[in-house]
Amino acid sequence: MEARDPELKKELDATLHARRELGEEYESALVESFLEKVEQRLDGTVDRRVRRQLAEQQMVVARGARPPNSSESNFGERFGFGIVSMILAIPLSAIGVVNANLEGLVVTWLGIVGVNAVHAARGWPWFRRQQREKSDWED
């Protein structure tokens, strides 16, 4: 297996070596230290990706193209949300039926339909206008 991050692999090797030398009593401290380094690495990666994506979106908007949140571009998001909700509907339905019979099934499906309706409403113009008016992020 090829290491994707040679620096992180060196850190892991050093942590394992230190664990062998120091013994089990220091294991939790060594693991916490290594996980902190992994978390810092992940935070840096996420920050870079978010900055890159924001810069790309700003470039698209600056060039006069449609913003990336247009209805055509979020079809995949809506489709994926629908698929995930249908997959989750199976175990949720079973849990509802086992715990509360038919009433549990009805409540479960009302919840599923409600969540999907709210998600779908995000694309409606009147809903987007209300969200923009309530936004705390804009100056």
Using a CB cutoff of 8 Å and minimum separation of 24, what contacts does 3-8 make? Answer: 5/41, 8/37, 8/38, 8/41
pLDDT in tens, 52-104: 988 888 888 888 765 555 555 577 777 788 888 888 888 888 898 888 889 98
**Helical residues (DSSP H) of the chain, grouped into ranges:** 6-22, 27-62, 75-121, 125-134
Q: Which of 67, 49, 50, 71 is nearest to 58 (CA)?
A: 67
Same domain, 81 and 106: yes
Enclosing domain of residue 39 = 1-68
Same domain, 79 and 124: yes
* Global pTM value: 0.40
Matching residue, tokens 């692999």: 9
Same domain, 7 and 60: yes
Pick from 53, 68, 83: which residue ends a domain? 68
Q: How many domains does the chain have?
A: 2
Same domain, 99 and 33: no
Same domain, 139 and 73: yes
